Structure 1
Amino acid sequence: MNEPLTLRCRAAFARKLAAVVLLGYFSIAVPVYLVLNGNDEGIIETLLGGCLYLVIAAAAIGNAFGLRCKMILDDEGVTFVQSAGEIRLAWNEITAIEVGGDSHTWEVEVRTATANHRPSALKCLRWFGKPKSLRQAVETLERYRAAAH
């Protein structure tokens, strides 16, 4: 029996890390702006600024939880650790592993007989082509899947 292999797609992790850094910056910049210029604005603008801060802070926290996304592969199957939970799939349940996405992102779709799963551990921005780390993750998934059959 092989030890479980834990993988992260570097491109997907980098996307989440960049979002956390950017949103973290704005979650500091908005309150500073409101404190320094809050007396010049009306109460409505200050309240809207406060609401904007809450949205930015919530998005930063949500993306920070996304940093825990990873895949754990073993002889029996794969576990996709998500922001708020886990998806466990046995190798014999998986019917296909495909790379797709929309106009902004690359996504890996793991198909089973009952559902299609798009794990956030394998979602990358579509800027410069398909990331090498995403292809490597899919190749590793396929290799483990083939070895299990």
Structure 2
Amino acid sequence: MKSIKLKYFMSTVIALLSGQVFAENKIECLMQVVVISSSKFAEPKTQYTQIKNDSSPMLLIGIEIQQAKAAFKSVKIKSHQNYCLSLVGQNKDAYLSGRYEPNHIQIQLNDVLELKNIHSSGQHYPFWPEFYFPMKADQ
């Protein structure tokens, strides 16, 4: 009986340590970015992706990260603060969350945007390792 309890206890500990029981901590950053060319296109371009399949295209843009800071729950976690600060100066491709019509793209090169970025492993719903959501645009 003690052997069964010990095995149950050990499997529970292993599951807890491996992160299978608790959801991962997603890193949330608020960023100010400048729109640049993406690695695939010179201008912002709509694309259908496997990231989101609601029959609406996403908008692919390049971003140059000017400012970044931890936001929401991430403000209290030092490693999240450091991750967000490490983004400053980087150029990335970003698929923006939302509905974008191919003939009505309003985001242009050199626009300044404020984005919410959620960084995760991509192992859990919504299965996007990098999620970008426009908060505000200064055009």
Tell me the TM-score range normalised by the shorter chain. 0.3 to 0.5
Question: Which one has the bigger helix percentage?
Answer: 1
Question: Which one has the bigger strand percentage?
Answer: 2
TM-score (norm. length: structure 1)? 0.31
TM-score (norm. length: structure 2)? 0.32
